[in-house]
Amino acid sequence: MNEPHKTVEVEHKDIQQKSDSSMVAATFIKYAAYVLIFFGFLYFLVKYVFPKF
């Protein structure tokens, strides 16, 4: 009735989410530039183009 002990090795993996802060910053700057250009274009339309009609 005496069973032999089995040794089981359990492998643990730590999963870490990698986030490159320089990529995040570059993406933020890119989209911030898009937004600024868009609002600049709208300002140009409202200030200079629409009054001519």
What are the tens digits of pLDDT across the range 23-38? 999 999 999 999 999 9
For the chain, the farthest-separated pair of C-alpha atoms sits apart, in whole angstroms, at: 100
Q: How many domains does the chain have?
A: 1
CA distance 17 to 14: 10
Residue 53: pLDDT above 70? yes
Q: Is residue 36 part of a domain?
A: yes
Expressed as residue numbers, the domain containing 33 is 27-52
Residue 3 lies in a domain: no
Q: Does a structural domain hold residue 39?
A: yes
The whole model's pTM is what? 0.57
